[in-house]
C-alpha cells in the first residue's frame, strides 16, 4: 500500500532509478504520504530515528559507510530546522544527503497554522540545489516536478557531491492509501565525463615540478582511496615530495608525514627556511592543525595548486595560484610518468624531524602521569587493527592525532563544521552499515549533547563508545585566551559532574569506567573482547593535570 499523492510516486520512482534506496525517517503527520510510500515499496531500506537532529547525522554516517546518497524524511515545522546542523556538515564534507521535508500548503504559511514555518529556502546556504514541489497534480505540474527531481538528484552526486533539498507541500487527507505499483517515470541522466588535464598543460606542470626543489603535498580529510595512495607514493618516489597528512586523510604509506601538530611545534622553534615549500599541492578537506596553517600563511610558497573536481578556489594558505580540475589519483599518476629529476633531500629533512619528534613524544608519554594524553595512548594501543575510529571534536581529535595511528584503521570525524553536536549519531549511523568494530571517542559534553544518538534500534554489537570525562570543556583550558578570563569556569569550561553510566543503562549498553592507568588497561581488554556487545567506557581524568601534561609535551618537543 502506498500514498495516493502522485508527486510522492514520482519522487519514489526516481529515487529508485538513481539507486537511492536508504531512507532515514523521523515520525510525523505531514510527512505521512512519504512514510507510507517508502515503507510500502520493497526496494527501499527504511530506518526510523525519532530525533531529527540525530537522524540527519545518522544518515550522514550511513552515507559515509555506504559511499552513496541517503535520503532523510521529516515532517513540517521545527523538525526541518533540526536537520540544519547535519546538512551544513554534509555540505562541507561533500556528502550527498537527499533532504525531504514535508510542508503545509503555501496558503497556510504565517496564518497561525500548527507546525507551520517558512520552509522554502531554509537550507539555501548549505545545499547544492533546492526544489519546492508543486501542490497540484495536473499533467504539466507532474512533468515539471519530475524534471526538477531528476535534475536535483543528478546534481547531488555530480562534480563535487553535496546535499540537495526537496520541500514538499502536502494537502490533507494525508493517510489515504492505494494498492498500486509506482508509475514508470522518465529518468533524465547525466552522461559521465571525467575531467582530464591536457597533455600540453601536463607538460607545463611537470616542468614546474621538475624545477621545484621543495615540493609539499597537503592531503586533507579524505575517504579511503587505495588508488590515490598508490599514485601519491609513486609521485613521492619520482619527485622526493613531502606528503603531509593527518589520520583523517586515511593514507597509510610510511613515506608520508603524519605527526603534524607536534612536528610543527618543533619546526616553528627553528629557522623554518629549510622547511618552506617552493610548490604546494593541496587536495581533500580540512586540516585540524592550526599551527600548520600558521606556518604556511607565514611562509608562502611561490606556487600553490589545488586539485578539485568542483573547481573550488580554496585559498586557505593565502597563496593559491592555480586550480586544477581533475581526479587526484589520475593527476599524480600522470605526473609520476613524466621525465622529472628527483631529489630526496627535502623529504629526508621532514622525515628525520618527524622521527625525532615522535621519539621525544614517546619518551614523554611513557613517563607522564595519568591524563587525557596518557589515556589516548592506551586507547590507541588497544583498538583492534582494521577497525573504524570516529573522533569527536574539540580535544579528542587533537589528542588522537598526536599519537601513533591504529594499524589499518579508517578514521572519520565531523570536521566539515567541527561541531560537537552529532559526533555519536554519525558514528552510530556508520556502524549500522559496517562489519568492523567502530570506536567513537568523544568528550563528556559531546556525549551528553548527542545522547539521543542511542535512541534507536540500530545499535549493533560492533559499536564502542569511549567518553573522556575531564569534567567539562577541557579544550578551552588548552587554547590561549579563555582560561585567563573571569567567565572561564562557568561559561567556557562548563563544569560537568554527571556520569555516563545512567545513559548507558537507559539504552541497554554495557558500561565500563576507569580513573587510572591500571583500571583503564583492564577495562580496555574487556571492552574489546570478542563477543562483547555494544558498550560505553567512561574515562575520568583531572582537567588541571590534562592541561599541565599537554603543555609540557609541547615544551618537550620544542626543546
Locus of grid cell 494498492: 179
3-state secondary structure of 168: strand
Q: Give dist(CA 248, CA 314) in Å, integer.
A: 19
The 10s digit of each residue's pLDDT in 45-64 is 999 999 999 999 999 999 99
2-178 has which fold?
Rossmann fold (3.40.50)
Q: What is the pLDDT of residues 387-433, one digit of tens each?
A: 999 999 989 999 999 999 999 999 999 999 999 999 999 999 999 99
DSSP label at residue 490: I
pLDDT at 425: 98
How does pLDDT run across 143-159, given as a tens digit for each residue? 999 999 999 999 999 98
Instruction: Report the alpha-carbon angle 462-468-470, nearest 5.
Output: 165
β-strand pairing of 242-245 with 279-283: unpaired
Label residue 555 exposed, middle or buried (CB < 10 Å: 0-12, 13-18, 19+): exposed
Name the one residue in this structure whose C-alpha cell is 592506551. Answer: 378
Q: 492: pLDDT confidence band, cut at 50, 70 and 90?
A: low
* Average pLDDT in the chain: 93
> Cβ contacts of residue 435 below 8 Å, gap of 6+?
462
The CATH 3.40.50.970 portion of the chain extends over 2-178, 368-558
Q: How many whole angstroms separate alpha carbon 36 and alpha carbon 56?
A: 20
pLDDT band at 269 (very low <50, low <70, confident <90, very high): confident
What is the structure's pLDDT at 496?
A: 78
CATH 3.40.50.1220 residue spans of the chain: 199-352
Q: How far apart are CA 233 and CA 237, in angstroms?
A: 6
Looking at the predicted structure, is the pLDDT value of residue 474 above 70? Answer: no
Q: For the chain, give the number of residues.
A: 559
Question: Domain 199-352 - what CATH class?
Answer: alpha beta
Instruction: Tell me the mean pLDDT in the region 196-220.
Output: 93
CATH of domain 368-558: 3.40.50.970
Q: What are phi and psi of 491, to 5 degrees?
A: -110, -10
Q: What is the predicted pLDDT for the residue at 344? A: 87
Q: How far is CA 166 from the centre of its chain?
A: 23
Cis check: omega of the bond before 400, within 30 degrees of 0:
no
Amino acid at each position: 500500500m502506498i500514498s495516493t499523492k502522485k508527486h510522492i510516486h514520482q519522487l519514489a520512482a526516481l529515487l529508485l532509478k538513481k539507486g537511492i534506496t536508504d531512507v532515514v525517517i523521523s515520525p510525523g503527520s505531514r510527512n505521512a504520504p512519504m512514510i507510507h510510500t517508502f515503507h510500502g515499496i520493497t526496494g527501499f531500506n527504511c530506518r526510523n530515528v525519532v530525533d531529527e537532529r540525530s537522524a540527519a547525522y545518522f544518515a550522514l554516517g550511513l552515507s559515509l559507510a555506504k559511499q552513496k546518497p541517503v535520503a532523510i524524511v521529516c515532517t513540517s515545522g521545527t523538525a526541518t530546522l533540526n536537520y540544519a546542523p547535519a546538512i551544513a556538515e554534509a555540505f562541507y564534507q561533500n556528502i550527498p544527503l537527499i533532504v525531504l521535508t514535508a510542508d503545509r500548503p503555501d496558503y497556510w504559511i504565517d496564518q497561525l497554522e500548527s507546525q507551520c514555518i517558512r520552509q522554502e529556502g531554509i537550507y539555501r546556504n548549505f545545499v547544492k540545489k533546492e526544489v519546492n514541489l508543486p501542490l497540484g497534480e495536473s499533467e504539466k505540474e507532474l512533468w515539471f516536478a519530475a524534471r526538477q527531481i531528476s535534475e536535483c538528484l543528478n546534481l547531488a552526486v555530480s562534480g563535487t557531491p553535496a546535499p540537495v533539498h526537496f520541500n514538499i507541500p502536502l494537502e490533507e487527507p494525508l493517510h489515504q492509501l492505494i494498492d498500486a505499483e509506482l508509475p514508470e517515470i522518465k529518468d533524465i541522466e547525466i552522461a559521465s565525463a571525467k575531467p582530464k588535464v591536457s597533455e600540453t598543460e601536463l607538460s607545463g606542470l611537470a616542468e614546474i615540478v621538475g624545477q621545484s626543489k621543495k615540493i609539499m603535498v597537503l592531503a586533507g580529510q579524505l575517504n579511503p582511496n587505495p588508488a590515490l595512495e598508490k599514485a601519491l607514493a609513486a609521485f613521492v618516489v619520482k619527485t622526493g615530495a613531502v606528503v603531509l597528512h593527518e589520520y583523517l586523510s586515511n593514507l597509510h604509506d610510511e613515506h608520508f608525514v603524519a605527526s603534524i601538530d607536534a612536528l610543527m611545534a618543533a619546526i616553528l622553534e627553528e629557522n623554518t627556511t629549510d622547511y618552506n615549500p617552493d610548490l604546494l599541492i593541496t587536495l581533500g578537506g580540512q586540516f585540524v592543525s592550526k599551527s600548520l596553517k600558521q606556518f604556511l600563511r607565514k611562509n608562502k610558497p611561490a606556487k600553490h595548486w589545488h586539485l578539485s573536481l568542483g573547481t573550488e578556489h580554496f585559498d586557505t594558505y593565502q597563496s593559491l595560484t592555480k586550480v586544477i580540475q581533475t581526479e587526484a589519483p589520475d593527476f599524480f599518476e600522470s605526473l609520476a610518468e613524466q621525465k622529472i629529476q628527483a631529489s630526496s633531500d627535502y623529504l629526508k629533512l621532514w622525515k628525520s624531524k618527524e622521527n625525532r619528534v615522535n621519539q621525544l613524544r614517546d619518551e614523554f608519554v611513557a613517563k607522564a602521569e595519568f591524563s587525557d594524553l596518557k589515556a589516548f595512548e592506551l586507547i590507541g594501543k588497544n583498538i583492534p587493527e582494521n577497525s573504524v575510529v570516529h573522533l569527536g571534536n574539540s580535544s579528542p581529535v587533537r589528542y588522537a592525532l598526536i599519537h601513533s595511528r591504529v594499524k589499518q584503521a579508517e578514521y572519520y570525524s565531523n570536521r566539515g563544521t567541527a561541531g560537537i553536536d552529532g559526533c555519536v549519531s554519525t558514528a552510530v549511523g556508520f556502524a549500522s552499515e559496517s562489519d568492523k568494530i567502530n570506536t567513537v571517542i568523544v568528550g563528556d559534553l559531546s556525549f551528553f549533547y548527542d545522547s539521543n544518538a542511542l535512541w534507536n534500534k540500530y545499535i549493533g554489537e560492533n559499536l564502542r563508545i569511549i567518553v573522556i570525562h575531564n569534567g567539562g570543556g577541557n579544550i578551552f583550558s588548552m587554547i590561549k585566551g579563555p582560561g585567563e578570563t573571569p567567565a572561564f569556569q562557568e561559561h567556557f569550561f562548563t563544569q560537568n559532574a554527571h556520569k555516563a553510566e545512567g545513559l548507558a543503562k537507559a539504552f541497554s549498553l554495557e558500561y565500563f569506567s576507569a580513573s587510572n592507568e591500571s583500571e583503564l588497561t583492564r577495562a580496555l581488554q574487556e571492552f574489546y573482547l570478542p563477543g562483547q556487545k555494544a558498550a560505553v567506557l567512561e574515562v575520568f581524568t583531572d582537567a588541571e593535570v590534562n592541561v599541565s601534561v599537554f603543555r609540557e609535551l609541547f615544551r618537550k618537543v620544542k626543546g
